[in-house]
Structure 1
Amino acid sequence: MENGDGEKTCEPQSAPHTQQLCRFFSQGKHCNFGKKCKFLHVRDDVSTHEKKTVRTPSQSDVKPPISEGPDVGPPLPTDNSRVAPAAGRRVCRYFISGHCTMEDRCRFWHPPQFPSLDGLSVPGSHTRPAQRMPPVPRPNALQEVKLCDLTEDITKKLRDTEIAQLKKRFPKDHLIIQERSDGKVTYYRATVEATDPDWPFDLKEIDIMVSFPDNYPQEIFTLDIPLDQELPEVMAKHVEQASLEWLNAKHATNQLLGKIELLFRPFLRWLDRSLERLFTEGARQLKKDIDLEKAGLQFITYQELQVTVCEKSDTADAADAGEDASNEGKPVETEVEKSEQPEDPGNEGQQEEASQLVENIKISDPRRGTEVKLLGLTLGENTATVFTQQITVCLQCNRCKVTADLTLTGKAPCTAQCEKCSASINAAFRPCMLHHYCDVLGYLDLHNAAPVDLVLQDCELIVGCLTCSQEGPMQSISYGQTTEFNCEHCHSKLSICVESTKFQYIQPRVNKTGSTAVNYKTIRDPAVQKGKPLPEKGTCKHFKQSHRWLRFPCCGRAYPCDVCHDEDQDHPMELATRMICGYCAKEQPYGNGKPCISCGSMMTRGTRTSHWEGGLGCRNKVKMSRNDRQKYSNINKTVSKKAASEKKQ
């Protein structure tokens, strides 16, 4: 119809008596029309064989459901009414099957009662009231109990449940039950096997021994790692200590939350996930002990030393008390009389024993041999320590002056043979810990060889993170460039930068008897020393006027020229980015035609101009400037043939 202004308007039509369902909205899909849709928006959760027609809300013949008691289900669907979920939601299929982990947070409908199939109203059949489904027990109902609801009976049930699950989990060949002679404590020894398909160790099983106290789970169970298995003692103690720490932390957390939990099965899951990490940490401790044993050192922990000192103090107190008791009624001796008396030999033995303990803790002075120092070492703020696992050093034979690379580790010395003169070369490396206040990489013990250069790009380092106290490998470090990478555990940014390397031979100390601690006869200073010229002042057979070495980034090694690099290496050359001065051995960024930043010497022959430059310039009149008055001088001068011939000769 039209209004007064002549515009057409739409009037809402009256809703029909029966309205068809929207096929998009009833199937749980999105309807693009929304509220403007001409079909009815009602969720269709009834079986598909029913007709998709409902009565409109305007009709008043819908009767409310009649409650028939607590055991009667919801009203059954009839010809004029149907059962729909609350607020148009679907029924949760997990709740119907028995249990829904989301519980009240589930976005689907959790009906309180379910009609059976026999209770559905089918035309021509007899209807009967629906029956309530039996309650489905929640899994792990006895795994967690509130602390306020805990009684002696519940505690006993929880303990029996834990023991029953333990016996059911492990087969008879993997479980041993031992009882003490008094029969009060029962030990269960089980074999736990790693489930990781990529298990890296040969040993895949570990035996654990547990015992449950009477008031378990109010008190955690005891855990021991037996030593009568293939696992080394150090690794077994580490696994046991880490497991006890986890159990105590878990038990303390449950007490704060006000609940009691059975911890054996969660402990097995944690042990399975953490077994590789525990084995790795234990293997590192075992390696340290083996290295100390090879070096002739004994590591005494603070706890052992404290126990030893306490035992000695207790023994001394007991001896003093006995002496005081025996000296009762005797005259008191003066200090002079005591000084005149001979010392007790027992006290001397105690002093010697104490001094031996102190000597076992002290580490001998490692500063011997050739010291390898990293100049310009800069560590990032999150970089705690740097430890060298493997280095590659360039050595020069003392006999024939031929250089060669040698890879060394801190585990065992290396023996090599010169390719030219077949001389025997012995080398050993003793690494040190790098940190913000120490730049010494380690010490070299060399025989018949002298160090020339450290190939930092081939060195393998272990960097410790200051944030998480974990260690990770690091490789491909270049001189003069800041190498950054992220920690493997906490992803913190770690960085390290090294400008150059310095070799310094440390003179051996002379003992009181006059003998030195050096066994090698041939001792030679390093070939490259800061402040002293390089061998041949950095020149080579290809370039006699180039007094420098170039460090090529492709391999990280220093050569006098690119031709020397290609003769020694078989990979494509990359342009050098750093160079070493041939007069003072100062490593610096590459600069062509620039003097050394340390000594100011010209490392290459400069370009010649048209001037004399102290006798080194060029007087070629073709290259001279037109403004130079000497360019056209003596052009018209007559020269005899004899003088011209002599000049040509």
Structure 2
Amino acid sequence: MENGEDGKTGESEPVPQTQQLCRFFSQGRYCSYGKKCKFLHVRDDASAHEKKTIRTFSQLDVTPPPANNTRAAPAAGRRPCRYFISGHCSMEDRCRFWHPPQIPTVDNMPVSGNQTRPAQRMPPVPRPSILQEVKLCDLTEDLANQLRDTEIKQLKKRFPKDQLIVQERSDGKLIYYRATVQATDPDWPFDLNEIDIMVSFPGNYPQEIFTLDIPLDQDLPPVMARHVQQASLDWLQAKHATNQLLGKIELLFRPFLRWLDRSLERLFTEGARQLKKDVDLEKAGLQFIPYQELQATVCEKSENDHSSDPASDTAAAADADEDASTEGKLEKRECERSMEGGKLLHPGCDEEQQQEEEEASHLVENIKISDPRRGTEVKVLGLRLGENTATVVAQQITVCLQCNRCKVTADLTLTGRTACTAQCEKCNASINAAFRPCMLHHYSDILGYLDLHNAAPADLVLQDCDLVLGCLSCSKECPVQNLSYGQTKEFNCEHCHSKLSILAESTRFQYIQPRTNKIGSSTVNYKTVRDPAVQKGKPLPEKGTCKHYKQSHRWLRFPCCGRAYPCDVCHDEDQDHPMELATRMICGYCAKEQPYGNGKSCISCGSMMTRGARSSHWEGGLGCRNKVKMSRNDRQKYVNTNKTVSRKAASEKK
């Protein structure tokens, strides 16, 4: 009893070690036995925390709160809430951690004899808000100047001195700030990850947007620099217009930097695509001049010509202003009219000046097509040219034409710009045809135009066409023959031995409707011409069937001659050479040319071009398997018919 009473009264004595601690409760985990657990529910950090709390209160000479307070002493194993100690806990009474009682402030604490009051911690001084935007109705001149100064200060703080160059104009009105903006994306895909920008803030900023220029004296190509500058100006103007509609004025430099950082990869990618187009055009021997630059050059030259005209210097003193204004209006109207027509003519100019102006507009005439788009367009689908292949021109083509009267097809060979006259073998109808070639390159797949009379095109025999390929390396031309659809033709240049290649998937014919010419009040209508026999997206004649095979809705292209026939029998009837197995076929429902495949549907429309492989015979299990529909000549029809079957098996089978 004495040991028991001493154990109850002596709270500071340690717990005897004969009984083990509960490993769940001591680790802060949940013990499912609770008070019935045979192990001790004691934590080492609880006693240490109580001692630390008592020591803290004793040093501050503050009387601890009464023992009956539930918040005064933490429950066994409860740790103090670090959020409550730091100032605020959003869980409040629902928090599962211990909220210690509030300690009196330093000012209210009593100070003993030799103790000094600890230094009072000053509250953080709130940062004054920087003026970023104001309402448009509250904007004054002083406030606008304050906003402009704030923007300039932020710019100088944003960029260090080694990345910021300040340039002042000669008149001192504008100051240009040139800074280097670097991409912050860790997965930046380009080698160049920075760009220089030059900004200047006008006197009425932020009522107007600041000027932005991308200097050309940096590693960025000029094409990409112009694209980034134009996209940035468009964003600034759109943002400024939005603020005007909302009735507010906002500082736009820092939002612009954030937008530029997010959009820099996209702008570089789009600029790189434009750069690639210019490089390809330069390799092909072409030059692209924007219309704005050409118009500015022509107008500048016209102004110089007018300034050098001596007749403009002699004018009467009294009517000088009126004559000048009237003359300027007339010249402006005539300049606009001449620009619409593609030529620039001025009254009072001699023939030499007009010739010089025509030479200036010669660049526009070079890109115009000499012959308008008329007749039947021959377009090569799936054209792929090699890296060193610049242009392709057809010198001679072989076209399969169909008579409009009797629907009989025949081959006709045409050369460039030479008319050909023939007669139909069946009805003796007169057929006239002419071919106007065009230049094939990476940005054009039009082979030329056909002018036909009493005939419609059915197919282009590519194997009998004579083409000329231009080499990018030596700018020489090489003849090419025996091309096949769907096969890449590779060979070496005859002059520089560079590798050239060309691939064509199929050919499409499209009739171009002519425009109606209005002469006064009457209208001249052209004679209607029948559409081509083979058009992509429309069925073939008779849906690709023939008199030999009524269930085959396709045409086969035979590699021996490069021509398309409905079947092998039709090929043998028309040609006298040995037949080779077809490698390509044309769908009879949509006229899509594709690789040959037996029993497969069309890759374009999904239609089955042949009937399924079903017959009335067994054929090893691939044919008919129903003995009722099976042919009587098939031995599988009566197999196992005399076999004895039990009634049980027959009933189960039923």
TM-score range, shorter chain: 0.3 to 0.5
TM-score normalised by structure 2 residue count = 0.44
TM-score normalised by structure 1 residue count = 0.44
More helix by share: 2
